[in-house]
Chain A
Amino acid sequence: MPSIAFYIFSLIAVTGAVALVAFRNPVSSAMAMTGSFIGLAALFVGLNAYFVGIIQILVYAGAIMVLFLFIIMLLDLKSEERSKPQPLMLAACLVIPILFLVQLTGVLQSTKDEPHKPLNLVASAKHFERAEGEQETIIHQNLAKEELPDVHLIGLTLFTRYNFPLQVVGVLLLVATIGVVSLSKRGSDRPAKPSTDS
Chain B
Amino acid sequence: MASLHDYLFVSGLLFAIGLAGVIFRRNIIVIFMCLELMLSAANLTLVAFSRFHTDHTGLPDYNGQMMVFFVITVAAAEVAVGLAIIVALYRARQTINVEDLTTMRG
Query: Measuring CB to CB, which residues of chain A are less than 8 angstroms from any residue of chain B?
Result: 1-3, 6-7, 10, 13-14, 17-18, 20-21, 26, 29-30, 33, 36-37, 40, 43-44, 46-49, 51-52, 55-56, 59-60, 63-64, 67-68, 71-72, 74-75, 77, 80, 83, 85, 89-90, 92-94, 96-98, 100-101, 104-105, 108, 113-116, 119-121, 123-124, 127-128, 148, 153-154, 157-158, 161-162, 165, 169, 172-173, 176-177, 179-180, 183-184, 186, 190, 196
Contacts and interface: CB of A to CB of B under 8 A. Distances in A.
B86 to A, nearest CB: 7
| Interface residue range, chain B | 35 or more
Interface string B79-90: 111011111101
A104 to B, nearest CB: 4
Contact of A179 (B12, B19, B33, B81): B81
A120 B58 CA distance: 7
B87 A74 contact: yes
Given A10-B10, A75-B87, A162 B58 contact: no
A173 to B, nearest CB: 6
A14 B77 contact: no
B23 A64 contact: no
A51 B47 CA distance: 11
Interface of chain A, main secondary structure: helix
A55 B40 CA distance: 12
B63 to A, nearest CB: 7
27 contacts: A6-B2, A7-B2, A17-B14, A17-B18, A20-B37, A21-B34, A26-B30, A40-B40, A43-B44, A47-B7, A49-B47, A49-B68, A59-B72, A64-B75, A71-B83, A71-B87, A72-B29, A83-B26, A97-B19, A114-B52, A116-B3, A124-B58, A148-B59, A176-B80, A179-B81, A179-B84, A186-B91
